[in-house]
Chains A and B, each alone.
Chain A
């Protein structure tokens, strides 16, 4: 076995820390106190969405506020048609299925692939990479920062929101939370257990860099554009 044995490594760390300390690890002397200001009245769905869309635009994303899911899909199709994009890849996701996106897209002439295991592994990524747009739902969205939260699951390839130059996300109202603090326990549940999400990503706007002369450029390795279609009222249960 290469490297240092775990027990030996940790023993050395303990020795370096020195004589025993009063509190035990995990005793929360910090961390979970919420500051008084958070006891303020929780914002309405509408206010949260307002805040989310403002923050999204501040980080260079584009938000579309529809009156309902159907109108959201209509707006989306209009945007797609105007864009001249040809190839889309899309998550397998109940929300996207309910919205009827696959047929909407093929209806306006786009080539659409719902990601699945049907294509051998070696070719999957190349196909996603060749798409003009990647379409996903979101697990959560954070109003405070304009962030989208995507969890990896079967049918929900990570690369759909990363490889194509454009990322489109559909945001159902129940997914919206106010802040990173409110998100935290929800993420905890996502990560819990043997089926916990192997990858959760918080996406805040398009890919960017300022590595050359501190000049901001969008679309380095990830998408150059992020579009989010959102609405306030929940979809009626079918």
Chain B
């Protein structure tokens, strides 16, 4: 979904997630492993820091000259027989896709994993038009069958145990299947093989689009990406406008860091470089190639504090290290993109009127920036979102009042000392044997699961005079 689910707050969804023990277990295992694998991969990569800086420099160049590079990309794609479409938002994108599908009499679509198609809710639109979209990435197929949204940027069904998957497959495919991962995978292979061979259209995302050659690069592991972009007679690739990069050389820089950051692999199993349609005499490949370039809020970030969010290569490294994501998983965020970068991308999709509620879903620990292969300064952006939320009066009146009082007290030393005095005076009913186990709202939220320290009867400022006299 491109909008934050409005029926419940992040806190409510998170609360539900925290009680979901199988989810917590799956999350724990998965994030630990991804983290360890990524760290191992980068530890063994000579010149890793230099690569990160080069990647940043490439992105910076691209964003600064984005219109030039997009124009070059479009020309290159067209030179190779492709058609280029431009959509300013999800609605326009869906219009284009449906019109194309209708024109070609498309009834059956196979899709490889594409976050941008989740973002615009393309599957729902296709289904609404009587077209059957089939997700072919194993994780995406699982959640499609389960009618759920992805819970992680690169491992969408990470929240499901093998037992849950077996149950799901058994139910949807009408045959009993054991909770054996090999068997379940073989089942997916068999079922989806027929879909690939019969589909009218393949829809994919784009990891990187090379302006110089008009090449669309697709980075996958399962092989479905290759099938989706080779078997059906029509291939539609959809990309966010920030995915363009200048040259093949630049691609190599990103290839070196994407798989390592995402899964710890030196290289993903398949990197497909798609340049135009099937040439004469070739035995397979699509006869038609369409590239849809989507804005959907991205251009708004091109200047301003959120520009670096467009550096994101969707590796998911920040999710795996985020203390919040690791506890609650992706669905709690209620948005297409979860985790630290997801908070910023969600704000991008929501636009200036958005709630920015998710900006509070962070302890600002900075692990995301540290893990990000492009060193995107996510914590800084979260602070900016919070500042905007305050400026736009999106925070509750109670919170504004509380922080107003805090600001007044902290900027007036006399008031600060008075506040300390008052606090010490009024805390005594809550203090038992030097401990505070329960406090009134809002600090009751603290004492839910922790003790709160009592204010010291003699603050440091009162002790200093004595210390100064005795020790100087």
Contact = CB atoms under 8 A, between A and B. Distances in A.
Interface of A: 2-6, 9-14, 16-18, 21, 23-26, 29-32, 35, 37, 55, 59, 115-117, 124-126, 129, 144-145, 147, 152-159, 162-163, 180-181, 183-185, 187-188, 191-192, 195-215, 217, 219-223
Those 7 A-B pairs whose CB atoms lie nearest each other, nearest first = A222-B223, A154-B281, A25-B65, A211-B139, A30-B57, A25-B68, A221-B223
Contact of A213 (B58, B181, B223, B285): B181
Interface of B: 26, 29-30, 33-34, 46-47, 50, 54, 57-58, 61, 63-72, 74, 80, 84-88, 92-93, 95-96, 99, 136-139, 142, 155-158, 160-162, 165, 181-182, 184-186, 188-189, 192-193, 196-197, 213, 215, 221-224, 226-227, 229-231, 241, 246-253, 255-256, 263, 265-285, 292-293, 295, 299-300, 302-303
A159 B54 CA distance: 35
A122 B224 CA distance: 19
B250 A157 contact: no
A220 B185 contact: yes
Contacts of B136: 221
A162 B223 contact: yes
A180 B256 contact: yes
Contact of A37 (B46, B185, B277): B46
Contact of A198 (B96, B162, B196, B282): B282
Contact of B142 (A6, A158, A208, A211): A211
A75 to B, nearest CB: 25
Given A16-B302, A25-B69, A183 B241 contact: no
Given A184-B252, A204-B268, A222-B223, 11 more contacts: A6-B71, A9-B293, A13-B299, A16-B299, A152-B282, A157-B282, A191-B215, A198-B274, A210-B263, A214-B158, A222-B270
A196 B128 CA distance: 39
A185 B276 CA distance: 19
28 contacts: A2-B92, A3-B85, A6-B84, A9-B70, A9-B86, A12-B299, A13-B66, A13-B67, A25-B61, A25-B65, A126-B197, A152-B279, A152-B282, A156-B283, A158-B230, A163-B193, A181-B249, A187-B273, A196-B80, A197-B279, A198-B276, A198-B278, A212-B160, A212-B181, A214-B30, A215-B162, A219-B185, A221-B222
Contact of A13 (B61, B84, B302): B302
Contact of A162 (B182, B226, B265): B226
Contacts of B186: 219
A126 B156 CA distance: 30
A209 B185 contact: yes
Contacts of A213: 26, 29-30, 161-162, 181
Given A204-B267, A206-B269, A13 B57 contact: no
A55 B95 contact: no
A212 B138 contact: yes
Contacts of A23: 61, 64-65
Contacts of B226: 158, 162, 201, 222
Contact of B221 (A4, A153, A207): A207
Contact of B197 (A4, A129, A153, A217): A129
Contacts of B93: 3
Nearest to A182: B252
Interface of A is mostly: loop
Contact of B222 (A31, A55, A209): A209
A115 B281 CA distance: 12
A31 B246 contact: yes
Given A13-B302, A17-B63, A215 B247 contact: no
A211 B269 contact: no
A37 B156 contact: no
A96 to B, nearest CB: 15
Contact of A17 (B74, B139, B302): B302
B48 to A, nearest CB: 11
Contacts of A192: 213
A13 B269 contact: no
Contact of B273 (A129, A145, A159, A191): A191
B194 to A, nearest CB: 10
A115 B33 CA distance: 42
B223 A12 contact: no
A191 B274 CA distance: 9
Given A4-B87, A9-B88, A180-B255, A26 B231 contact: no
A16 B181 contact: no
Contacts of A203: 269-270
A101 B150 CA distance: 46
B84 A37 contact: no
A143 to B, nearest CB: 12
